[in-house]
Amino acid sequence: RLDRTLLGVAEALSSYPAVTEPGDRVAVRDAVVRGLDTALREVGDHAHAHSPKMAQEFARYSFYENAVHPGTTAVLDRAGWRPLLDDLDAVRTLLGLIGPDLPFKLTLSEMFRSRYPAGAQIPLLVFYRDVLAEQSAGAASGPAGQGSLLAHSRVAAADSPVGAVRELHRLRTAVKRLLGERRPDGDGVVRVDPEEVRTLAKEWPDWVRTPTSLAVYCQLADAVRGPELVVNSIGCGFGRGRNRVRQILDVLDLHADVPDEPGPAVHRGDMLFAEFEAVARSAVNVRKPGVGLVVDYPGVRSMRTDDDRVPVNDLYVHGGDDGLLALVSRRLGRRICPVHPGLGADRLLPPAARFMIEAFGESNTWFGAHTELRMTSDPRADDGVRHLPRLMVGGVVLRRAMWMTRADRLPRRADAETGAAWMLRTAAWLAEHGIPERCFVTVLDPAFLGQGENRQGPSNDTKPNYVDFASTLLLLGLERRLAEPDAIVQISEMLPDPGQVRGEHVAEYIVELNEPGVTYV
């Protein structure tokens, strides 16, 4: 039966090149998809005859990115990972200073002190209304937002009207000197001792909060000095990723050999954690609970008990002892830290929910494509290509070797006589700047950069794309992404090197790092 199904798929594919009408091509495409779905269903029925749920799951996803393969993928050696995790914890300390929401939090605290009397306790929704009014007033006063405290609240500028933000700029400049202005070793790598980061952090004010829980997306790389942990991105933790997997395993009733879990995080000291259960049009946000409480957001249905729900109108704002604002539940009499451990982007959350995370919670994205731009000057002002060497904190590769430039400084096909001449010019340009032929390229929207980070968040366009500059097809694909001449192009080395990975597969790990003292259910 499977042979007949695959034969039908092969016949449909072989007929596709001869089809000229778009409508007919759609019909062939649909026939191929139906055939693949049928083939997967038949394979699933045979391979999982003992588990109808697993057979059904096997047949569901021929063209989707989430599929479940039960069984043990890897067994990690805790002793072998311990030195890398200790170094990664120093990076966690560093992220408290370079996190994206800190300038906004400091500006809101200044606005609160200037607008309300000392000791005021303002309902959250009233404060949110006043913040929106302040932002609207700034927008109405002109492009520069003169007179509005929130006009440039997303950027740690040296000339900010908020004293704490100016201090943040000074501290980030000191970190930039530590990380960005050190001479590389003989192999071209900048290495920073984790103890240097910890020593520097002791001088930071209380409003620099080390993240409580992080989910670090990373890869292992073999090196002469020993294994290295290469960071891809860092987001909010609290079960991010694994709770999505747990949800899928529960649906499929797959619990054999599943490792034990610590349970949802409840509190750290006097601070309680509360998450948002809004799916926000993204199935990847459907997950098991990551923290003990849930924000009872209007329009979002929760299965939690009443005791575990925190209504929005139960929350009020007051000035905290550390210079930042505190969000407090009247019913519980405790501080609330909003978090979003779902896999969907926080920009898809409802506006008030997003505001609660940015103003009082832990950032959804601590380290990503735009992090380097918070730590250096705008590369669009450069005449050529800026090279940033590989940066390591202990055994953690925090930044791959990177080259940054404007899109219009890459060789353009329109300026070459032929396609072959264009590729030769590109090869010469790569050689001139020491850029590898195979790399990952990220194109950053200049409109996003022009607003600092005062947008809903970067789009999926910021994801790195693999480019082999010797491939005409991939080079043409990159050219289409460079339509905006003012865009910033980030070119990153391939690390780990695909030719040196362990085994046949590339693996990305999610490492969850948690602050000591967090209590779990």
**Is this prediction's pTM over 0.75?**
yes
Phi-psi region of 441 (alpha: psi -120 to 50; beta: other; left: phi over 0): beta
User: Are 186 and 251 within one domain?
Assistant: yes
User: Are 36 and 153 within one domain?
Assistant: no
Could you tell me the residue range of the domain that residue 30 belongs to? 2-60
Q: How far apart are CA 202 and CA 197, in angstroms?
A: 9
CB-based contacts of 505, cutoff 8 Å, min separation 6: none
The answer to whether residue 289 is domain-embedded is yes
User: Are 95 and 126 within one domain?
Assistant: yes
The answer to whether residue 283 is domain-embedded is yes
User: Are 138 and 251 within one domain?
Assistant: yes
The answer to whether residue 51 is domain-embedded is yes
The answer to whether residue 299 is domain-embedded is yes
The answer to whether residue 380 is domain-embedded is no
User: Are 198 and 276 within one domain?
Assistant: yes
The SS3 of residue 54 is helix
Q: Note the pLDDT tens digit of each residue in 375-413.
A: 566 666 677 888 989 999 999 999 999 999 988 889 988
Closest to 41 in 3D by CA, of 59, 53, 57: 59
The answer to whether residue 436 is domain-embedded is yes
One pLDDT digit (tens) per residue for the chain, 521 residues: 788 888 988 998 898 888 888 788 888 888 888 888 888 888 877 777 777 766 666 656 555 555 667 777 778 888 889 999 999 999 999 999 988 899 999 999 999 999 999 999 999 999 999 999 988 886 666 555 455 777 777 778 888 899 999 999 999 888 888 877 788 999 999 999 999 999 989 999 999 999 999 999 999 888 888 889 999 999 888 888 888 888 888 877 777 777 777 788 899 888 999 998 866 666 777 888 899 999 998 877 788 888 999 999 999 999 998 999 999 999 999 999 999 988 877 777 888 999 999 999 998 888 876 676 555 666 666 778 889 899 999 999 999 999 999 888 899 888 888 989 999 999 999 999 999 999 999 988 766 554 444 444 445 557 788 999 999 999 999 998 888 888 889 999 999 887 766 666 778 899 999 988 788 76
Number of domains the chain is built from: 3
Residue pair 252/54 in contact by the 8 Å Cβ criterion: yes
User: Are 90 and 55 within one domain?
Assistant: no
User: Are 147 and 54 within one domain?
Assistant: no
User: Are 21 and 134 within one domain?
Assistant: no
Residue pair 287/341 in contact by the 8 Å Cβ criterion: yes
User: Are 78 and 33 within one domain?
Assistant: no
User: Are 353 and 438 within one domain?
Assistant: no
User: Are 179 and 201 within one domain?
Assistant: yes
User: Are 130 and 245 within one domain?
Assistant: yes
The answer to whether residue 504 is domain-embedded is no
DSSP class of 291: B
The answer to whether residue 499 is domain-embedded is no
Q: Note the pLDDT tens digit of each residue in 14-70.
A: 988 888 887 888 888 888 888 888 888 888 777 777 777 666 666 565 555 556 677
Beta strands in 43-93 (DSSP E): none
